[in-house]
A and B are shown apart, each in its own frame.
Chain A
Amino acid sequence: MKKDRKSFKKILCITALVPLLFLSACSGNGSSSSSNSGSGNATDEKAEVIKVGITAPMSGAAANWGITQEWVAKQAANEINEKGGVTVDGKKYIFEVVAYDNKYNSTGGAQVAQTLINKDKVKFIVGSVGSAPTQALQTLSEKAKILHFTSAWSPAIKGNDFPYTYTTLNTPNEVIDPLVTYILEQNKGLKSVAVINPNDASGLDTAKVALKVWKEKGLNIVVEDYYERGTTEFSQIVTKILAEKPDIIDLGGSPPGDAGLILKSLEEQGWDGVKLIGAGTSGDQLVEAAGEAAEGVYLGLAPDFTGDTATERQKDLAKRAKEEINETLNSISMQPYEAMMALKAAIDESGTLDSDKLKEALAKVEVDSSFGVTKFGGEDLYGFPQQLLLPVTVTQIIDGASVEVNRISTNQ
């Protein structure tokens, strides 16, 4: 009996110790992340810290987005902090970036949301990737009136039902129409189109917009199909598409790996029509995945960050990203940069950290985005000006390089 009592006490101690240890480790963990965050060298020791959060995949096939978003946000924070941060009521603040892997699903997304908002107490969310995790985030952030800047495309998570959500990159709604218009001008006499997308949120969102635009332009949609994420063999799908003899093939929201495989298969089966990835986010990644099969493909959401049309800031960021983390930057990577710039502009303008007053500022303030000075707009489509107005870029793969062939500014 005595042995039982001793052993039971041991269990009780262990069960009590474990959560205590964990809680202390967690607070320790919180401070350790601040040492490699965006608080630059030249900052005032006495400045207070504003934590900003990112929820994005950092493992799995979409890991590039989370990894680059975290890095870009930290660069933006460094940039702002080195210039003196922001001042509110005479007090100086610097930014610190906290990013977690949301594993691209709701469970991970909900846990990250809880950690960011309730444990780390971030004041703003400057980057979110993935529809399901973003929705998980919004359940907490909207109620807590936390300004949330997202890269998600679906109009279903924006607008007057989500007053604290803003988008700081272009979405299919903004880019597909100009892209299609340009393509039809450059290639006359096209009549039919096949629209292929992955069966996930980005694919479905892109498909909705693309189908509408193609129909408006009078094209005949001969194939509309969706493939499972993780497909490795596309020859069967390609055969099905080619049997309908389309003039144009629109790969919609397909990620570079899948698009590359489809393009290779198209080449094999001898088709050389007009190819586009309506919401393609990176020409460089497409070439990396597809090699020669990528030649001639148009992309709608892949601004050039390294060539002649890129701004100095973009070129600098892209170069350093390659050097420091060996990653290519794409439009999704840049989204937190624009978010941080927008945040800074709004705080400078309104002199406060209060979300509702910041909203008022965001509606009219000028944002020093990586593309240049711009503002928020999009009330007609979204209900309030939540969409940062960025230039729409049409990119084409020419001689193995991603070349921007057209740029439309949308400063209204």
Chain B
Amino acid sequence: MSQGNNIRWLIVSVIVIAFGFMLNDPYLAHLFALLCVYSILAVSFRFIMLCGEINLAHASFFGIGAYTSAALTIHFNVPFIVAFFVSGIIAAIVSILFGAIAFRVKGHFFLLLSFAFAEVIRLFFQNAWTDVLGGVTGIAGITSPMGEFYGFIAIVTLLILYTMYFLEKSKLGKILIAIRNSEDLSRSIGISSMKYKVLSLVVASLLVGMSGSMFAHFNFVISPEDFTFHLSIIILSFVIIGGRDHFIGPVIGVVLLVLVAEYLRGFGSYEILAYGLAIILAMLFMPKGIAGTLQSLRLIKLKSSKSKSREEAKV
């Protein structure tokens, strides 16, 4: 990556952080925070997709983080910053247990397994420990933990995104892509596909758990319905429509689709109709996603995870 490029992304980052600290309008601040958190969700979702799997339980780990943070701060008076990290850790631990068992199957089967697991987690949020988790109504009265919380969210989001970017570029990322391209071939050269898949899941879930904690504290209420496989599918749509072959694709998908949804908000029942149409049209006319289409129209030149691996293969 060229020096020039580095500086440009640094400038973008500074702008984003500035947004975080300077947004005074609570409505815009809430929207901004949602964009940040969804970006983390989308990029980490794609990170797992690097090894070729679709995890419909992604939103469940988000929920585990949110519920952990809410419960710890409200019922056990744990300070936010501790709850923040604990949320990530708990989500990661659950993901190890899930991944170790679930990655024994792949493709269709893993997709369905993650879907079933997502439902089990939802039932858990709804029916277990109702005095702490709040049952069907969930938890309300979660508070914002610090004055410049949105600035905190902006900084954390950028740190997480940069981390994911470097992980993808690193040896880990290349191994995951190799597994996706051909699991058998990778295993034949000694790569334990199980180990690396679980690793990608754990990393993603750790970060997603932490973002769940942030979500709980800027949304102020959470309920089981917020973390179902429906959300995972919406996140998947952000990734696919934004562009699954580029790192920045999911972020583009998030920004565009969330803003589209905001614009449609005044349309009542038609909102969902228009959103569904938008998804269909986006898939029909931009099957490679927005980033992919912009790339092939040569409007921008972005690092593609697909073309990269082919370059590697030439070696």
Q: Do chains A and B touch in the complex (CB under 8 A)?
A: yes
Enumerate chain A interface residues (CB-CB to B < 8 A): 1, 3-5, 7-8, 10-12, 15, 18-19, 22, 25-26, 29-30, 32-33, 58-59, 63, 66-67, 70, 98-101, 104-107, 109-112, 114-115, 117-119, 131-132, 135-136, 138-140, 154, 199-201, 204
Contacts of A7 in B (CB 8 A): 299-301
CA distance A112 to B219 in the complex (A): 11
Instruction: Indicate which residue in A98, A99, A139 contacts B221 across the interface (CB closer than 8 Å).
Output: A139
- Check B268 against A4 for contact (C-beta < 8 Å): no
9 A-B pairs in the complex with CB atoms less than 8 angstroms apart? A26-B263, A67-B269, A105-B226, A109-B221, A110-B219, A119-B25, A135-B221, A136-B221, A140-B26
Q: Mark B121-159, 1 if CB is under 8 A from A, else 0.
A: 000001100000001111011000000000000000000
- CB of B190 within 8 A of chain A? no
CB of A103 to closest CB in B, whole Å:
8
Contacts of B220 in A (CB 8 A): 110, 136, 139
- Check A18 against B225 for contact (C-beta < 8 Å): no
- Check A119 against B27 for contact (C-beta < 8 Å): yes
- CB of B170 within 8 A of chain A? no
B-side interface size class:
35 or more
- Check B300 against A11 for contact (C-beta < 8 Å): yes
- Check B265 against A100 for contact (C-beta < 8 Å): yes
Contacts of B259 in A (CB 8 A): 18-19, 22
CA distance A149 to B133 in the complex (A): 27
Label chain B's interface by main secondary structure. helix
- Check B221 against A132 for contact (C-beta < 8 Å): yes
- Check A106 against B26 for contact (C-beta < 8 Å): no
Contacts of A19 in B (CB 8 A): 259
Contacts of B102 in A (CB 8 A): none
Contacts of A140 in B (CB 8 A): 26
Instruction: Indicate which residue in B2, B140, B263, B269 contacts A25 across the interface (CB closer than 8 Å).
Output: B263
- Check A4 against B4 for contact (C-beta < 8 Å): yes
- Check A29 against B266 for contact (C-beta < 8 Å): yes
- Check B263 against A22 for contact (C-beta < 8 Å): yes
Contacts of B136 in A (CB 8 A): 131, 199-201, 204
CA distance A117 to B8 in the complex (A): 37
Contacts of B138 in A (CB 8 A): 106, 132
A-B complex: 8 closest residue pairs judged by Cβ atoms: A118-B27, A105-B225, A135-B140, A119-B27, A132-B223, A106-B221, A139-B220, A106-B223
Q: A106 with B27: in contact, given A22-B259, A22-B263, A26-B263 (CB under 8 Å)? A: no
- CB of B255 within 8 A of chain A? yes
Most buried by A among B31, B136, B255: B136
Q: A22 with B301: in contact, given A199-B126, A199-B136 (CB under 8 Å)? A: no
- CB of B77 within 8 A of chain A? no
Q: A99 with B4: in contact, given A201-B136, A201-B137 (CB under 8 Å)? A: no
- Check A59 against B269 for contact (C-beta < 8 Å): yes
CB of A57 to closest CB in B, whole Å:
10
CB closest chain-B residue, reference A57:
B269
CA distance A154 to B220 in the complex (A): 19
Instruction: Indicate which residue in B141, B266, B300 contacts A100 across the interface (CB closer than 8 Å).
Output: B266
Q: Mark B245-279, 1 if CB is under 8 A from A, else 0.
A: 00000000001100100110110110110000000
CB of B304 to closest CB in A, whole Å:
14
**Given A7-B301, A106-B138; 18 other pairs, CB 8 A cutoff:** A1-B4, A4-B5, A15-B255, A18-B255, A25-B263, A58-B268, A66-B268, A70-B268, A98-B266, A101-B269, A101-B271, A110-B30, A114-B30, A119-B27, A140-B26, A199-B136, A204-B135, A204-B137
